[in-house]
Each structure stands twice: as C-alpha cells, then as structure tokens.
Chains A and B, each alone.
Chain A
Amino acid sequence: MERQYWIIQDGIQAGPYTLGQLAQRGGLTPDTPVWYDGLADWTVASNLPEFAGLIGGAAPRPAAQAPSYAPGDPYARAAADGQTPPPTYLVWAILATVCCCVLTGIVAIIYASKVTPAWQRGDYAAARAASEKAGWWVIISFVGGLIWAPFSVLFSMMSNTL
C-alpha cells in the first residue's frame, strides 16, 4: 500500500493523502508540516526528498512567457541574463598538471583556454562544452593521481626494504 501523508495547511491538519493526491491538491511550500506513519514527529516538506517535485508546483505555471532558450539549459539561461561565463577550472587544471598528471592536466588547460573565446563569440553551447571537458579532464587527472599514489608508496616501500 502506498504511503499516506498528513499535512497541515492554513493551520488545519489534513490527510491521509498519497503523494499523487498531494500533487493534485497543490499548495505545498517548503515549510508545510508533513507527517507519515513511521516518523516520530512532524517534519517539513523540504526535509522529504519525495516532496521535491511537489513543492511550489501547485498552480500550473503560466505558459505565457515563452523562454528564448532551451528549457533546463542553465548556461543559455545565464547567458540570456547576462551572467558570467562558465568556469574554466584553470586553477584545478594547473594544480593537476603540477601535482600528478602532466598530460591530462595539459589537456584540461587547453580546454580551459577555449571557454572564454567561445563565450565571447556567443557560442554558449561550445563554451559550456569546453568548460565541462576541462572539468572532466581535471577529475580524470586527480582520480588517476589518487589511484597511482598508493601503488607508488607501496612500490617505494618495497624497494626500500629489499
């Protein structure tokens, strides 16, 4: 059986509802008190992950304002709002280069260098792609370094004792 929820809205306790009924009912805010059988005490909707999609989704959103960017594309949105370009991760790329992994670090630096030019010519998708690639190469470098480190220590300890 589906879990049943009680809520308090406008000072009045209501329930039990299933999640689906709550979604139809609407009007949930992050601070709406919620309880279900199994909770020791009331909590609020924002503490429950299953409520994430329901909070604030009460009234159907006005479809009037057609966005000029693809929905769900934060970078294009940021660009439309005149915000800063995506991160270059240059600091991390340089640290990766000098800390463990020269080659992958240099790849990350080269991708980092492509972010701003793409942004300046208005190619936000390319700027985002370069930023993400730089980030991924940084992660690859550090993960590679972390994998390498214990082997290296083990090896040098063995060669010291031999």
Chain B
Amino acid sequence: MSPAASPPPYRGAVRRRPWPPRRRAAAVALCVALAVCAAYYLLDPAGGMLPRCPFKAATGLDCPGCGAQRALHAALHGDLRAAAGYNLLLVAEVPVLGLMLAAELMPRRLGRVRRVTASRPFILTFLAIIILWTIYRNLCPA
C-alpha cells in the first residue's frame, strides 16, 4: 500500500441537513396524491385503462369502495353530485378521514379529536357503517 495520502487543507465542511423524516414522508405523500389526482383527472375509469375491483371481479358484488375511481374522476372534474352517485359513503367520509389524518399527524394539538377517532367505539361504528353500506348498496343498487 502506498503511503497514506495527507488530507486537503480544511476550509470548513458542509453538513448535509436531511429533511426530518416526517417532512419527507409528507412530501412523498403529497407527490403520490398529486400523481393519483392527475392520473384520475386524465383517465376516465369507463375507458378500461384503470384497474378493476378485485372483490367485484371475484364475487360480482359491489365492495364498499366500488365507484371510487369513477367518483374521483367526477369530483376532479367538479361534478360532486355525480361523485356522490358513484359512491355516497366515500364522498361523505372524506371530511372525516381528513380530520382523522390531521389528528394522527398532530396528536398534541388535536389530542381531543384523536382520543375520539382512536377509540374502539368510534372505529367499530365506522366499520359497522362500512358493512351496512355495503349490504345496502348491493340490495338496493342506485
């Protein structure tokens, strides 16, 4: 081995400051959300270029989320009424999901909200609504 090289003159070193993980995760999530919105703005689910529901493919029944792609496409084109027609539950739960996400991200500031949204009765009620909605939409298709 050759004699070890000597270090260059020190002119100060730059410390790379990585983004904090939370901010990085938020940035990634924002990019994914924008990409999804762009895709669903441009692509019409009726065109057959988007994936179909595996539950519906397997059983022929509407799952709780069926219509979500058509609803997102309609909502992005400003037609909330049509979106609600494709999947009423999804449109109705968007504000609730937003509040839950905010409570999850800011547990200190929204501690009271989080105590409710993380509680067992709330979660089981939500689950019951999803199941009842699924039964209803299959028995009484709009």
Contacts and interface: CB of A to CB of B under 8 A. Distances in A.
Chains A and B form a bound pair: yes
B97 A100 contact: no
A29 B4 CA distance: 25
A84 interface: yes
A152 B15 contact: no
B85 interface: no
Nearest to B127: A109
A2 B116 CA distance: 56
Contact of B120 (A16, A101, A114): A114
Contacts, number: 124
A81 to B, nearest CB: 13
Contacts of B90: 98
A62 to B, nearest CB: 28
Which of the four size classes fits the interface of chain B? Answer: 35 or more
A88 B118 contact: yes
A153 B49 contact: yes
Nearest to B89: A98
Which of the four size classes fits the interface of chain A? Answer: 35 or more
Nearest to B63: A102
Interface stretch (A20-28, A33-41, A52-60, A66-74): A33-41
B26 interface: no
B48 A91 contact: no
Interface in A1-56: 1, 4, 6, 8, 13, 15-16, 30-31, 33-35, 37, 40-44, 46-47
A17 B4 CA distance: 11
Given A148-B54, A152-B54, A95 B97 contact: yes
A117 interface: yes
Given A37-B4, A37-B5, A43-B13, A87 B104 contact: yes
Interface of A: 1, 4, 6, 8, 13, 15-16, 30-31, 33-35, 37, 40-44, 46-47, 84-85, 87-88, 90-91, 94-95, 97-103, 106, 109-110, 112-117, 145, 148-150, 152-153, 156-157, 160
Given A41-B13, A94-B97, 18 more contacts: A13-B10, A16-B4, A33-B12, A84-B108, A84-B111, A88-B117, A88-B118, A90-B104, A91-B100, A98-B63, A98-B65, A100-B51, A102-B134, A110-B127, A113-B124, A152-B52, A153-B51, A156-B48
